[in-house]
């Protein structure tokens, strides 16, 4: 329970209060009320593990006791809400210049109790908290977008790697094809040369059968004639 005890007082006279705990804090609250100056002020007192937050305005003091885990923003938001309800209900005009203690306990005490219960169960979100929540949501969205960008970058890098690999493979294929063509050209050239040599040998063999191995007999026959 964050908010434990709350009250509305005129000077050091308590007009209405509500305590959510079983412990009696009347001595502590009376001591703090006696120390509050008559001018408008806003302050926090520390007592044991508790914090007493108050707002003093127009002769009335609005005080709430909370544990230190509640911080300061939420209790002061509660006090602003308590002050607004007190003024809206017309309780300030109902209190005389010198009201008796607990003069408004029956009419405004339940309002304090309901407000404490509301803030302890589902405190309203103030503007700063709302802005921080929206900022956190935007940050989550930005982180998600960055993660998507990084993921897309990884896919782009993979695509680039694949493109580079394909280009390397194409270059290697072209180089291999060129080497194959060169090898085939040399093979064809050797076959043609070998075929030419074989053809010349066959022609020589055929000619040698008629003209002799030195091919001189054909020449001499033509001279005799």
Residues with Cβ within 8 Å of residue 81, at least 6 apart in sequence: 115, 124
Helix (H, G, I), strand (E, B) or coil at 137: helix
Domain that holds residue 17: 3-124
Residue 157 located in a structural domain: no
Any domain includes 110: yes
pLDDT of the residue at 127: 54
Q: Which two tokens stand for residue 177?
A: 């094809």
In a domain, 73, yes or no: yes
- CATH number of residue 95's parent domain: 3.30.450.50
CA 200 to CA 193: how far, in whole Å?
A: 11
- pLDDT averaged over every residue in the chain: 78
Q: Considering the domain boundaries, does residue 180 fall inside one?
A: no
Domain assignment of residue 78, yes or no = yes
More confident residue, 74 or 1: 74
pLDDT for residue 148: 59
- For residue 105, is it within any domain? yes
Number of compact structural domains in the chain: 1
User: pTM above 0.85?
Assistant: no
């Amino acid at each position: 329970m964050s908010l434990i005890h709350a009250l509305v007082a005129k000077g050091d006279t308590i007009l209405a209060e509500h305590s959510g705990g079983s412990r009696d804090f009347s001595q502590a609250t009376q001591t703090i009320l006696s120390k509050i100056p008559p001018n408008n002020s806003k302050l926090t007192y520390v007592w044991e593990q508790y914090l007493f937050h108050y707002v003093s305005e127009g002769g009335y003091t609005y005080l709430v006791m909370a544990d230190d885990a509640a911080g300061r923003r939420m209790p002061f938001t509660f006090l602003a809400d308590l002050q607004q309800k007190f003024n809206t209900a017309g309780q300030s005009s109902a209190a005389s210049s010198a009201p008796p203690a607990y003069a408004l306990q029956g009419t405004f005490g339940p309002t304090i109790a309901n407000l404490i219960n509301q803030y302890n169960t589902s405190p309203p979100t103030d503007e700063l908290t709302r802005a921080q929540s929206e900022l956190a949501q935007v940050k989550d969205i930005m982180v998600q977008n960055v993660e998507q960008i990084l993921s897309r970058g990884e896919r782009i890098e993979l695509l680039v790697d694949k493109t580079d690999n394909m280009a390397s493979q194409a270059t290697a294929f072209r180089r291999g094809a060129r080497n194959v063509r060169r090898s085939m050209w040399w093979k064809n050239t050797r076959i043609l040369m070998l075929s030419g040599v074989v053809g010349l040998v066959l022609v020589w063999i055929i000619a040698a059968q008629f003209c002799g191995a030195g091919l001189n007999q054909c020449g001499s026959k033509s001279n005799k004639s």
